[in-house]
Chain A
Amino acid sequence: MHLDSNTKDALLNQLKQIVAANYLLTSKEDLTPYECDGLSAYQRLPVAVVLPDTIEQVQKIVQACSQLKVPIVARGAGTGLSGGALPHEGGIILGLSRFNKILSIDTNNLTSVVQPGVRNLAITEAARPHGLYYAPDPSSQIACSIGGNVAENAGGVHCLKYGLTVQNIQQIKIVTIDGTLLTLGSETFDTPGYDLLALMTGSEGMLGIIVEIVVKLLPKPHAVKVLMASFDKVEDAGNAVADIIAEGIIPAGLEMMDKPAIHAAEAFAKANYPLDAAAILLCELDGDEDQLEEQVIVVEKTLKHAKASKIVIATSAEDQAKLWAGRKSAFPAVGRLSPDYYCMDGTIPRKQIAYVLQKISELSEHYDLRVANVFHAGDGNLHPLILYDANIEGELKTAERFGADILELCVKVGGSITGEHGVGHEKIDQMCVQFSPAELTQFFAVKSAFDPDSLLNPGKAIPTLHRCAELGAMHVHNGELPHPEIPRF
């Protein structure tokens, strides 16, 4: 896995010609902060970190690596939670943080051309004076980069109504493994030929390096209201979610937090969350004034019927921002409850929310680890945060087993092992549960069409059949895969 010293010398010599000395990091000291991304439980030291700021530099770097057969792991803001930017011991980190310019905003076509290192929130901030915004808003939107969003097909609070990243981008430029610059998608909505833009979205840096993105912007809705409903029982909150959608209303956002998450978020955001509630739902409705009034009445009625103990409606932009600030900071705010957490990301059918939460709570007792639940309830995207202490020998392993059980539970009830964080390094073994060997073989065929030597983020997202077989040896009973009754796509 490690790079032999001749190749390493040849590589560094070439990279030195491409970027200035302070943008090529090679000492162990400088490399260590790059040994992990937002998932700090796993670390690997790369051979070098390169921080280019022009597309030409990226092309040359990729060509150098391609020629010497050195793996490349692209990295944006390093906020990913599935270890997608976890380095390869024998490869480089290609950091795109210096690509941080918004190149243009087109108010006629409602698009913006941005570099991949631009922060998600910075796009909305730049579009705001024009009455526009960029809809996908992962909780880490203050820090995460748009390039990373495309690579992971990021979602967020608003994706329930406005779609994931894939529905909100129009065109991207990528550098392929041979250093060619390609434009995928177009300035119009439909493009002839295969939809390679969709294929690239969520490909986790395994098919090409994203160097420019045309994002779609939306006009800000005329009016917005945010409702906060408190519940005495978690399952009531879970059922309320399905009830709202069943009423034919698609909220702009529909989020749920349980008690531990409420307490942690409140400590940071001081959003006036009810500390005695077992769970809260945050429901954002947007649209025209008249339409909105009607929706608020229906949602309020539905919530009451679903046994909400209290409903608060935030009408001012300031109060709404406060309610969301708590939700968006909920993950890291959990750092106040526990030295470490392991953030899971699975998706389930909405009607299973109450059942799955009950099962998670049983697993929590079984493994003796606390859980805080924060999730995009509207689209059934769960984010259980398993609280553990990495300083206690063996606790990470227990947390991992607990997490794997949750993901397998998601698959069992008809859901999937990722909603928006990607598979990365973290969930690669659960891919063996989700997909059959035939499907995985096809995935590899796509990968090798773009990257025949497997140099782009190798070892992530798609497990080799060998890996699945080894894993299977632990799980298979009587020659059957786990949950053989489940159709695997």
Chain B
Amino acid sequence: MKTEFSPTFLNTPDGKLANEILRTCVHCGFCNATCPTYQLLGDENDGPRGRIYLIKQVLEDKPVTQATRTHLDRCLTCRNCETTCPSGVEYGKLIDIGRKVVEEKTTRGFKENLTRKALLNLLPYQSRFTPAIKLGQVFKPFLPKILAKKIPKKINAGKYPSNTHSRKMIILEGCVQPALSPDINAATARVLDRLGISLTRPKNAGCCGAVNQHLSDEEKALNFVKQNIDAWWEHIQNGAEAIIITASGCGAMVKDYAHLLRDDKDYADKAKKVTELCKDISEVISKEDLTPLQTQTQQRQTKNISWHPPCTLQHGQKINGVVEKILTDKGYNLLPVNDSHLCCGSAGTYSILQAKISQQLQANKIKNLTKHQPEMIVTGNIGCQTHLQEVSDVPVVHWIHLLDN
């Protein structure tokens, strides 16, 4: 596609990258076909092709108002369009740049700013979010319904195995997951323990940075990124084989560290190493010999399950069929699910900031997931898990639990 950037912008790293991405787009419109918001709203401006066009206008210095910002806000960043795009347009990277520039050029209203600031000051900090959830769990009956339904029941993590194996891997604790579902990483540790791998949980690591990155707060996002790299570096040097992520949303972000810090002279090499080592838990499990897990799982009751592949796994990290194979090999029956390529509407802070669209997608998704009466819905991302559990009659859990019994 033709671009007319000012030479000043074209010479910046963002300008160069945006130009390269835009010039791979041939405007065919295939992306609209799998875009959840285009399907719901039917406006070119609310599909990837239209958003790319809007971003192009902004980057070419054409006047921009909140109209463009609204269409960019409505994007889930599910990156389904990237999977569909035959030309290889890296839409995710383009919209990050577009959002950043639009944020600089427009101003948000007081209320909207307050909500976004509140999210930015709460979610990424485990030390703030965990007590908030604990309080919420106590006072749940007195909270407004819209908030109450977002607070899950209290879950016990269960025991962590002792750190005895010579094979070591790092695990990212993340920001909201320890409060919402502390059992996921504990189950992961137990499963890997049986496979002869011990997990390290470096103290100073925190949020992966995705919350800030997707709310156009790149500076803070990069602070989190660097903080994690610093926290992991010593363990990497001591021979940690991988950095395991059990929330695919965080995984997609950590795999982007190398890209985000590509021009940082102090961190570029380290970030590259981190990205290389970053693995979704399914990538690690699928490469191991799973015989040590066999004997204890024969007596289980659950059989029919629905698998919800998170967008950050299937589109962001392009991991398809891996979890499905692990679970099928373990004897589970994965029921057919229509439109499994579509987003459930969770999408980080989207379920709060774009509640209406989010709820429509949530309703469609749960209808498809429960069509064949599963005993359980399994997924691989904490965001999808809590979002779907809000409206599901059957349990929604991380798939790793099916190996931990």
Which A residues form the contact surface with B (CB < 8 A)? 22-23, 25, 27-30, 32-34, 36-38, 40, 49, 51, 53, 77-79, 95, 97-98, 100, 117, 119, 121, 140, 142-144, 265, 267-269, 329-336, 339-341, 390-391
A265 to B86, CA, bound (A): 8
Question: With A336-B87, A391-B23 known to touch, is A33 a contact of B45 (CB < 8 Å)?
Answer: yes
Q: Does B33 belong to the interface (CB within 8 Å)?
A: yes
Cross-chain contact of B88 among A23, A78, A335, A339 (Cβ < 8 A): A335
Query: What residues on B are CB-neighbors of A98 within 8 Å?
Result: 42
Query: What residues on B are CB-neighbors of A119 within 8 Å?
Result: 33
Cross-chain contact of A142 among B26, B33, B65 (Cβ < 8 A): B33
Query: What residues on B are CB-neighbors of A336 within 8 Å?
Result: 24, 87-88
Query: What residues on B are CB-neighbors of A40 within 8 Å?
Result: 1-2, 26-27
Query: What residues on B are CB-neighbors of A265 within 8 Å?
Result: 86
Contact of B1 with A340 in the complex, beta carbons under 8 Å: yes
Q: Closest B residue to A80 by CB, please name it.
A: B29
Q: Closest A residue to B4 by CB, please name it.
A: A391
Contact of A33 with B24 in the complex, beta carbons under 8 Å: no
The smallest C-beta distance from A147 to any residue of chain B, in angstroms, reads 13
A143 to B32, CA, bound (A): 7
Q: Does B30 belong to the interface (CB within 8 Å)?
A: yes
Extra contacts, 8 of them, besides A25-B43, A40-B27 (Cβ < 8 A), are A28-B63, A32-B54, A38-B28, A40-B2, A97-B44, A119-B33, A140-B28, A340-B1
A333 to B88, CA, bound (A): 8
Contact of A51 with B42 in the complex, beta carbons under 8 Å: yes
Q: Does B67 belong to the interface (CB within 8 Å)?
A: yes
Question: With A329-B86, A335-B88 known to touch, is A33 a contact of B26 (CB < 8 Å)?
Answer: no
Q: Does B77 belong to the interface (CB within 8 Å)?
A: no
Contact of A33 with B25 in the complex, beta carbons under 8 Å: no
A40 to B44, CA, bound (A): 14
The smallest C-beta distance from B24 to any residue of chain A, in angstroms, reads 5
Cross-chain contact of A78 among B24, B44, B86 (Cβ < 8 A): B44
Contact of A390 with B1 in the complex, beta carbons under 8 Å: yes
Cross-chain contact of B86 among A27, A332, A339 (Cβ < 8 A): A332
A36 to B29, CA, bound (A): 11
Contact of A77 with B1 in the complex, beta carbons under 8 Å: no
Q: Closest A residue to B25 by CB, please name it.
A: A335
Contact of A117 with B42 in the complex, beta carbons under 8 Å: yes
Chain B, residues 71-99, CB within 8 Å of chain A (1/0): the string is 00000000000001111110000000000
Contact of A25 with B42 in the complex, beta carbons under 8 Å: no
The smallest C-beta distance from B8 to any residue of chain A, in angstroms, reads 17
Query: What residues on A are CB-neighbors of B54 within 8 Å?
Result: 29, 32-33
Count residues on chain B whose CB falls below 8 Å from chain A CBs. 38
6 contacts across the A-B interface (CB closer than 8 A): A32-B54, A32-B62, A37-B29, A78-B49, A142-B84, A332-B87
Contact of A29 with B63 in the complex, beta carbons under 8 Å: yes
Query: What residues on A are CB-neighbors of B53 within 8 Å?
Result: 32-33
The smallest C-beta distance from A126 to any residue of chain B, in angstroms, reads 10
Query: What residues on A are CB-neighbors of B326 within 8 Å?
Result: none
The 10 closest A-B pairs by CB, nearest first: A335-B87, A390-B2, A329-B86, A98-B42, A33-B50, A143-B33, A97-B42, A335-B26, A339-B23, A332-B86
A456 to B31, CA, bound (A): 28
The smallest C-beta distance from A216 to any residue of chain B, in angstroms, reads 23
The smallest C-beta distance from B65 to any residue of chain A, in angstroms, reads 6
A406 to B328, CA, bound (A): 54
Contact of B42 with A100 in the complex, beta carbons under 8 Å: yes
Query: What residues on A are CB-neighbors of B26 within 8 Å?
Result: 40, 331-332, 334-335, 340-341
A265 to B33, CA, bound (A): 19
Q: Closest A residue to B66 by CB, please name it.
A: A29
